[in-house]
Structure 1
Amino acid sequence: MGVLRFDAARIRPDYFAVHGYKWLLCPRGAAWLVTRPDRLSELKPLVPGWKSTNPPYQYFGGPANLAQDARRGDASPAWFSWIGAKAALELLTSLDADQVERHCLELAGQLTGQARAIGLRRVTDGPGSHIVVLHTDKADHVALRLREHGVRATALSDRIRFGFHYFNEEPDVVATMRVLRGGR
């Protein structure tokens, strides 16, 4: 969500849970659960809140008369996270989703191809993604060098992970490759 297009109407998931803190650019604490209407009765909140019940919303413990709609899963939101989430989602929905996906996949493809040319390979041969994970025997060392040059990546055992978003640009790939080639 936020980079690759997702057609919920075509896929029709029973439940769709998403956090906003990474690719949706929201602060931590913003998350959503979307449920098909025919699956609502299966939702059982672990800790019902006062808005999880039917009106007059007077639940303060004990057996709950849960609402029959999605309110049954309501919880008190992390208020400050939602202020940031609103701004982030307004920004993301103002962008052309096809262009965002194309841009991010193109940058990831450039990094993948250039890394392959110097002997680094993707960990998986799956479909293209905005996330590039490269195999290296020196992941911690590579991540440290990248960080020293202002490039953010994550070291994971024998892998180095990069993620592209719409705010990334071609100079980010150039800077990354300069470090991976051993330059300054």
Structure 2
Amino acid sequence: MAVADYAHLWEPRPGWLNTASYGLPPRPAWEALQVALADWHVGATSWEPWDASTVRARESFARLIGAPAADVFVGSTVSAALAPIAAALPDGAKVLTDSVEFTSNVFPWQVHADRGIEVVTAPSEDFVAAIRPGVDVVAVSVVQSATGTVLDLPAVVAAGRRIGALVVLDASQAVGWLPLDVTGVDALVAHSYKWMMAPRGATFGYLSPALRDRCRPLHANWYAGSSYYGATMELPADARAFDQSPAWFSFVGAAPALELLEEIGIAEIHRHNVALANEFRAGLGLPPSDSAIVSADVPGADEAFKAAGVRAAVRDGRLRASFHVYSTRADVQLALDALS
């Protein structure tokens, strides 16, 4: 089936071009959340059915990135998911990131500056070449939030392996539209409220077994343990030891949204999104790209979009428009008409 066959599952107002800020919930996710909220309102159930959604969401995310569910942990934010990895670095380690990297994949490393952890940057176009001996961690987004640049992931993984550096990815702007496989990756974290179209508060992380053995579960809690009370801590041997206690309602919405992404197919969504983005780029006189995010220097675009009811974003002084499964050619034309 094509993306268009699922269009009835969303009800966006025309002109929503801002999935890079937050995604719109499909009907199954929205309805599941309303049921949970109604049950909560009157005390109709215990929490276990809500937690079953956390299990489903973990398993769906694992399939989306090609990982075993046992290597996936759940949490609330990208920065918190990265904290145990940053804490495991030896004193004096060097971390390479993109010069426009979103700060949730920068600050968790920089707070260890007192231990000699050094964060260095390179521009996207020179990033692979900057992966040279002396770099201990390559921490970078699969798709850049500010520019929409898609990482050459095989090249980054190969370069990291050559020098023995960890490859740690922020995939918040990628999972949900870009086909991914974590083979050769040490860690991948992603929030689900953008392209996975879940409520804010559900984050997922992949930890390779080799890296997991080097990390301490800094957020150890009842959910990751085996008992509610007492001074005996028993944590799982897999990535669940790094679970943060989940915000259940966020995962209630996340599970059906992720499962719908699987049903539609990421390859089909990728084709749809990039085609619309490139149609918009063509209307701006830009060459085609491989991204669902369009970043362009268009003076007055913010004001023109607001006047026409088009919702996009401005990042670093540039227009940022993003296209997802519920976007249409009519949205593209509305945006181009506004800018004309």
TM-score tier by shorter-chain length is: 0.7 to 0.9
- What is the aligned partner in structure 1 of residue 295 from structure 2? 133
Larger Rg: 1
What do the CA deviations read for 1:99-126 (whole angstroms, capped 9, x no partner)?
111111111111111101xxxx58xx9x
Alignment of 1:42-81 (within 5 A): 42-53=214-225, 55=226, 57=227, 64=233, 66-81=235-250
Please give the secondary structure, in 2, of the residue aligned with 1:16.
strand
- What's the offset of the Cα at 1:156? 2.5
> Structure 1 pair 78/156, CA: closer, same or farther in 2 (3 Å)?
same
- What is the aligned partner in structure 1 of residue 335 from structure 2? 176
List alignment gaps of at least 5 residues for structure 1.
none
- What is the aligned partner in structure 2 of residue 6 from structure 1? 180
Please give the secondary structure, in 1, of the residue aligned with 2:305.
helix
- What's the offset of the Cα at 1:3? 0.8
Q: TM-score, normalised by structure 1?
A: 0.80
Question: What is the CA–CA distance in structure 2 between the aligned matches of 1:83 and 1:67, rounded to whole Å?
Answer: 23
- What's the offset of the Cα at 1:68? 2.7
Instruction: Determine if contact 2:193/2:199 at 8 Å carries over to the other structure.
Output: yes
- What's the offset of the Cα at 1:60? 6.1
Number of matched residues? 166
> Structure 1 pair 88/4, CA: closer, same or farther in 2 (3 Å)?
same
What do the CA deviations read for 1:45-85 (whole angstroms, capped 9, x no partner)?
223102434x4x35667x95544322221221001001100
Selected match of 2:323 from 152, 164, 180: 164
- Aligned-residue RMSD, C-alpha: 2.3
List alignment gaps of at least 5 residues for structure 2.
1-174
Question: What is the CA–CA distance in structure 2 between the aligned matches of 1:39 and 1:157, rounded to whole Å?
Answer: 34
- What's the offset of the Cα at 1:86? 1.0
Instruction: Determine if contact 1:20/1:31 at 8 Å carries over to the other structure.
Output: yes
Q: TM-score, normalised by structure 2?
A: 0.45
> Structure 1 pair 179/100, CA: closer, same or farther in 2 (3 Å)?
same
Query: Bigger relative contact order, structure 1 or 2, given CA contacts below 8 A and separation 6+?
Result: 2
Please give the secondary structure, in 1, of the residue aligned with 2:284.
helix
Question: What is the CA–CA distance in structure 2 between the aligned matches of 1:148 and 1:83, rounded to whole Å?
Answer: 36
Kindly provide the amino acid, as one letter, of the partner of residue 311 in structure 2: R
Question: What is the CA–CA distance in structure 2 between the aligned matches of 1:160 and 1:84, rounded to whole Å?
Answer: 30
Please give the secondary structure, in 1, of the residue aligned with 2:213.
helix
Instruction: Determine if contact 1:136/1:158 at 8 Å carries over to the other structure.
Output: no
Selected match of 2:200 from 3, 23, 28: 28
Selected match of 2:305 from 126, 143, 146: 146
Kindly provide the amino acid, as one letter, of the partner of residue 5 in structure 1: P
Kindly provide the amino acid, as one letter, of the partner of residue 113 in structure 1: A
Instruction: Determine if contact 2:219/2:243 at 8 Å carries over to the other structure.
Output: no
Kindly provide the amino acid, as one letter, of the partner of residue 137 in structure 1: P
Question: What is the CA–CA distance in structure 2 between the aligned matches of 1:58 and 1:66, rounded to whole Å?
Answer: 12
